[in-house]
Amino acid sequence: MALLFAGLMLVLVPLAHAADGSPWAHGGDLRTGLFVSERKARNGEVERDSQGQARLRAWLQRDLADDWRLRARLAARASTVGNDFGLKFDRYRASPTGTIAGEAHFDEFYLGHGTPGADHQWRVGRFQTAITLPVVPGKSLDRNDSSNVGIGWTDGFHWQARLGSTWKSHLIGQVNHRRGAGNTVRSPLDFSAGGSRLGGYFALEATEHPGPLVMRVLSINWVPDALAAEGLGSDRREDYVTAALKTAAAWPISESGTRLLVAGELGHALNRPRPEVLSLSGNDRVSGGAWQFSANLFDLLPGHHLGAVYGRAGAGWLTSNDYRNNDELFEIRYQRRFTSDLSIEVRYRWRRELERRIGAAGLQVDEDVYARVTWRMR
């Protein structure tokens, strides 16, 4: 891990100094921590693991004429065990849910147009997409490319447009590789069919809110010809379509600035695989429902935040980076934010399968704890 980061710094530090006094801006962030986990497997055996993990990202951006900009960011992830060091230029990740420890990727490389708040904003190339609940655990049922110390991205284009004074729209056209994508897709989704190369995501997001509401989002995700509803061995493919609704509200509860924020998200997948494809019992399609609810206290003391979330994702919910399909999750997280650039977080998370797999003695149960530090460099 130290060798990888040292190598990156040898490349990035000279670039940063070269940018001083030029139209180039630069910055980055480092996130590192200790991660401890325990798994009770379906056969009853218990597995334990502990390791240090880190992610380093560094970016360069140049503003061009007429509100255009060019931006690139290099991201590297490493662990105290199991690294496979190398710079990768693949358009897809090593697995449907992430990259391998030790790998470095360009997770941003795009041409953009429009300043924040402009009526129209464009990005074309490789970029980050995330529409998460505004809570301490920060989770989403659909788009959240690079959570925790993970590396992910979206290839394609992203257009934002204001709709009157209250709403704005997001339209994302995502280009997929036949071997995978830059963000999370869970089996039996795959891109072997030619019609699955371009997917779409559309969201309506409120920019003004009545009363205590602070978030309202409606989204639709469309992945054509990608769902192997009868299994990957079958040539038949169906479109995979999901819809999700996010909302959040906040209230002040003390004169010292403490706020209570509650948030929720509800999702449904229209097409789902047959249960035997996921080693589950049943005669119909698997469940496509997903939901989460979160309660949070911000600024218990200045800079001290505490939040909890509970959620469920049916076996047919296949595109969340934060929720495994056929899983329920409970998480409680404490955050101490010293400045806008430096914070520490401590998390406890519990996850359990919702339905038992065919032939399994029991449900898989996972527990994990981490303590991590995030530092942004400007």
| Domain encompassing residue 212 | 2-377
**pLDDT grade for 22, boundaries at 50, 70 and 90:** low
For position 9, what pLDDT does the model report? 45
For position 100, what pLDDT does the model report? 95
Distance, in Å, from the CA atom of 333 to the CA atom of 348, rounded to the nearest integer, reads 7
Over range 93-117, report the average pLDDT. Answer: 95
Identify whether the C-beta of residue 371 lies closer than 8 Å to the C-beta of residue 344: yes
3-state secondary structure of 144: strand
For position 187, what pLDDT does the model report? 96
Q: How long, in residues, is the chain?
A: 378
**Of 158, 14, 4, 146, whose CA–CA distance to 76 is shortest?**
4
Decide if pLDDT at 327 tops 60. Answer: yes
Count of the separate structural domains present in the chain: 1
Decide if pLDDT at 294 tops 60. Answer: yes
CATH of the domain at 282: 2.40.160.10
Distance, in Å, from the CA atom of 139 to the CA atom of 317, rounded to the nearest integer, reads 15
In a 10 Å sphere around its CB, with 0-12 CB exposed, 13-18 middle and 19+ buried, how is residue 164 labelled? exposed
* Token pair for 362: 């029991």
Decide if pLDDT at 96 tops 60. Answer: yes
For position 18, what pLDDT does the model report? 46
CA torsion sign for 93, 97, 102, 107 is positive
Q: Which of 22-31, 155-164, 247-256, 292-301 has the lowest mean pLDDT?
A: 22-31
In a 10 Å sphere around its CB, with 0-12 CB exposed, 13-18 middle and 19+ buried, how is residue 1 labelled? buried
Share of the chain above pLDDT 90, in %: 90
Mean pLDDT of the chain: 93
* Token pair for 369: 């704890």
For position 4, what pLDDT does the model report? 42
Decide if pLDDT at 116 tops 60. Answer: yes
Decide if pLDDT at 14 tops 80. Answer: no
**pLDDT grade for 5, boundaries at 50, 70 and 90:** very low
pTM: 0.91
For position 11, what pLDDT does the model report? 46
Cβ density class 85-98: b for 16+ within 10 Å, e for less: eeebeebbbeebbb
For position 6, what pLDDT does the model report? 45
Identify whether the C-beta of residue 231 lies closer than 8 Å to the C-beta of residue 188: yes
Identify whether the C-beta of residue 247 lies closer than 8 Å to the C-beta of residue 264: yes
Could you report the per-residue pLDDT of 333-369, keeping only the tens digit for each? 999 999 999 999 999 999 999 999 999 999 999 999 9
Decide if pLDDT at 1 tops 80. Answer: no
**pLDDT grade for 15, boundaries at 50, 70 and 90:** very low
Decide if pLDDT at 249 tops 90. Answer: yes
Q: Which of 5-14, 87-96, 147-156, 223-232 has the lowest mean pLDDT?
A: 5-14
**pLDDT: is 53 or 16 the higher one?**
53
For position 283, what pLDDT does the model report? 86
Could you report the per-residue pLDDT of 74-89, keeping only the tens digit for each? 999 999 998 999 999 9
**Of 310, 304, 357, whose CA–CA distance to 329 is shortest?**
310
How far are the Cα atoms of 228, 236, 332, 347, 365 from residue 329, in angstroms, in the given order? 26, 32, 10, 13, 10
Over range 46-70, report the average pLDDT. Answer: 96
* Residues in Cβ contact with 205 at an 8 Å cutoff, skipping those fewer than 6 apart: 131, 167, 168, 169, 170, 216, 217
For position 23, what pLDDT does the model report? 82
Q: Which residue has the tokens 């309506």?
A: 204
Over range 220-233, report the average pLDDT. Answer: 96
Decide if pLDDT at 288 tops 60. Answer: yes
